[in-house]
Amino acid sequence: MNAPEPMHRLELRIAYLLRYGVIIAGVSMFIGWAWSLAAHGDTLQTFQIYRPVSLFETWRAAHASADWGTLITTAGLGLLVLLPVVRVLLTGVLFAKQGDRVLAVVAFLVLAILLGSFSLGIDL
């Protein structure tokens, strides 16, 4: 069997990154959830009254109280959210290396829109 060409290897690396990234994110969210459940019991009782809290406030409170379950869960969730962004970035690089300028520009435009939408929707 022939060795895969460099572009095909890059495509495979992107696929592996997504596959293993989702697995790592899912496992870390499960571990964080289980840790929180073991440490604090049923935390859903605190959600009977909704109080919006910013992301940084949640991290500060979790770090100050050494709430590793929350920290691990949010790290896994952050990884899961960042995977599509990395995918679009690497796809743009792949198209640029292949010399397909139109698709590279489209990929980087999609990346800019993704990053813009994140900045519009997050209350830090």
The reported pLDDT for the residue numbered 98 is: 87
Is the CB of residue 71 less than 8 Å from the CB of residue 32? yes
Q: Which of 2-16, 67-81, 90-104 has the lowest mean pLDDT?
A: 2-16
pLDDT > 60? residue 3: no
| Cβ within 8 Å of residue 116, ≥6 positions away | none
d(CA 57, CA 51): 12
Q: How far apart are CA 48 and CA 63, in angstroms?
A: 24
Q: Place 58 in a pLDDT band, splitting at 50, 70 and 90.
A: confident
User: pTM for the full model?
Assistant: 0.74
Distance CA 71, CA 86 (A): 22
